[in-house]
Structure 1
Amino acid sequence: MLDFLNHLGELVQGTLSSPWLWLIVFAVAALDALLPFMPSETTVITVAVLLGTDVPKLALLALLAAAGALAGDCLSHAVGRGAAPALTRWLRAGKQDRYEWARGQVERHAGLLIVAGRYLPGGRVASGLATGSMGVPWARFVALDAVGTGIWAVYSVVIGAIGGASFDGQPAKGLLLSFGIGLIMVGVIDVVRRLRSRHAARRVPRDDRGAVPGPARGRGADGAGGAGADLSEVDCPAPRRPPGEGPLVGPGRDRRSERRERDARTATRRLD
């Protein structure tokens, strides 16, 4: 393993002065928004390890990674907007309650989904497609996503820089240390997410809890491996629709329910 990592480090080290390396970083960070097999975070961390303590180049790496990720997320958001009519028709074909629930979740938690969703398996794909299909305005999406991509890029570069500075001239050990830190951070984020999700689920009345699709299972920190992602309150159960009622219980009751109540009041007045 160490021999392979050393060979990989030597191979990439020879390309640090090439503009092609920076183009590759930008492209991988962008394409990861739609292609699950693109290792954006791994690429950024590896290059940061090899740069070591070269602060100007580390800053350039963070800038290019953030710009590439933002471009890819905007592409994913655009795809979601293009697929919105077909998705809306499918959801509303007997699934109006799910559609309304999904729209409500995106409206309430769009900021959290866009900024933090990329740290979950499938989260980056889910945030772009979901916010696009649910009509989150471009200005709001770009502003929030710029914050999210900036945090992600700096986080990845710092992890790589720690490994490179700790083992100067030993890229294999630096890579192992950086990847180990990354895995620990992913584990901490996942534990926090699960705790928040359970807390949110306990706040929902038991009678209102219904079955919803389970959380996506995908690859690790690079995050585009599943069909969707769950995120604390975003993945709390949708309200269950009682038989014969409309899409939602409460303000969203359909006209049939209101008509039944109106008929009942009329009948009561006649008896009086």
Structure 2
Amino acid sequence: MDGALWMYFLLALSTAPPLVPNAALIATAGMLAQAGELDLWLVLVVVAGSALAGDALVFGVGRLAGPRVRNWLQRRPTRKAALDWMADRITRHGVPFVVGMRFLPSGRLIGGLTAAVVGFPLRRFLLGAGMAEAFWASYSVALGYWGGAALNGAWSGVLLGTLLSLLVAGVAQLISARTPAPEPPERAP
């Protein structure tokens, strides 16, 4: 193994849990792979594999703590609406929706918990999550890989990618802070 074992460990550690922003780190790993400092295939396996492990862990928590998870998800109107929306689509569309929910905001967390709570089969969930994570890891790492090639060097790309990530995160935070929460749906008497 090369001297960058710490980078693979950091990738796994930051990718497994949902809701951890690590796009800049993944793009950096792609740039370092393009520069020959990391192994591209190992980066892809670590990113996709650790994300899938995190998805399986979320699903497992949902199965073990089903009623408590359902109560937690139903405590706030926005979470309840997300639970209802996802539960309907998971039961209606199955694996294709599991693939798609990876790309929704908080989709890994709410989607994995919802799939477990509504009794979606673990094998079908892992199949969909595995396909989604393979696709997500491929394009995330490829952005850094191609960016490193276009910028003629990994470190200038790392700096540019980090600055762009911070800018996008800042703009998203501003929009989020100024956007009012949706009204809960009215209940029939």
What do the CA deviations read for 1:125-163 (whole angstroms, capped 9, x no partner)?
111111111111111011111101100111111100011
1:86 aligns with 2:72: no
Q: Name the aligned partner's letter for residue 118 of structure 1.
A: R
Equivalent position of 1:171 in the other structure: 155
What do the CA deviations read for 1:221-245 (whole angstroms, capped 9, x no partner)?
xxxx9xxxxxxxxxxxx8x8755xx
Number of aligned residue pairs: give it.
Answer: 171
Q: Choose between structure 1 and 2: higher helix proportion.
A: 2
The residue correspondences of 1:61-80 to structure 2 (distance < 5 A) are 61-80=43-62
Q: Supply the distance in 2 between the matched residues of 1:173 and 1:120 (Cα, whole angstroms).
A: 27
Q: Supply the distance in 2 between the matched residues of 1:23 and 1:117 (Cα, whole angstroms).
A: 26
Deviation at 1:17, TM superposition (A): 2.3
The residue correspondences of 1:248-267 to structure 2 (distance < 5 A) are none
SS of 2:65's equivalent in the other structure is helix
| Pair 100,27 (structure 1): closer, same or farther in 2 beyond 3 Å | closer
Q: Supply the distance in 2 between the matched residues of 1:67 and 1:102 (Cα, whole angstroms).
A: 24
Q: Supply the distance in 1 between the matched residues of 2:141 and 2:31 (Cα, whole angstroms).
A: 8
SS of 1:119's equivalent in the other structure is coil
Q: Verify the 8 A CA contact 2:30 2:145 in the aligned structure 1.
A: yes
Equivalent position of 1:150 in the other structure: 134
SS of 1:120's equivalent in the other structure is coil
Q: Verify the 8 A CA contact 2:32 2:38 in the aligned structure 1.
A: no
What do the CA deviations read for 1:47-76 (whole angstroms, capped 9, x no partner)?
111222549811110111011000000001
1:162 aligns with 2:149: no
| Pair 121,103 (structure 1): closer, same or farther in 2 beyond 3 Å | closer
Q: Name the aligned partner's letter for residue 24 of structure 2.
A: T
Q: Supply the distance in 2 between the matched residues of 1:75 and 1:81 (Cα, whole angstroms).
A: 10
Higher relative contact order, chain-length normalized (CA < 8 Å, sep 6+):
2
Q: Verify the 8 A CA contact 1:49 1:175 in the aligned structure 2.
A: no
Q: Supply the distance in 2 between the matched residues of 1:169 and 1:90 (Cα, whole angstroms).
A: 47
Equivalent position of 2:3 in the other structure: 17
1:30 aligns with 2:16: yes
| Pair 70,85 (structure 1): closer, same or farther in 2 beyond 3 Å | same
Q: Verify the 8 A CA contact 2:24 2:161 in the aligned structure 1.
A: no
Q: Supply the distance in 1 between the matched residues of 2:40 and 2:26 (Cα, whole angstroms).
A: 10
| Pair 41,242 (structure 1): closer, same or farther in 2 beyond 3 Å | same
The residue correspondences of 1:66-145 to structure 2 (distance < 5 A) are 66-87=48-69, 103-145=87-129
Q: Verify the 8 A CA contact 1:30 1:68 in the aligned structure 2.
A: yes
Q: Supply the distance in 2 between the matched residues of 1:56 and 1:170 (Cα, whole angstroms).
A: 11
1:48 aligns with 2:30: yes
Identical-residue share of aligned pairs (%)? 31
| Pair 86,45 (structure 1): closer, same or farther in 2 beyond 3 Å | same
Structure 1, unmatched stretches of 5+, are 1-15, 93-97, 185-217, 220-224, 226-237, 244-272
Structure 2, unmatched stretches of 5+, are 75-80, 177-184
Cα RMSD after superposing both structures: 3.8
Q: Supply the distance in 2 between the matched residues of 1:109 and 1:121 (Cα, whole angstroms).
A: 19
TM-score, normalised by the number of residues in structure 1: 0.52
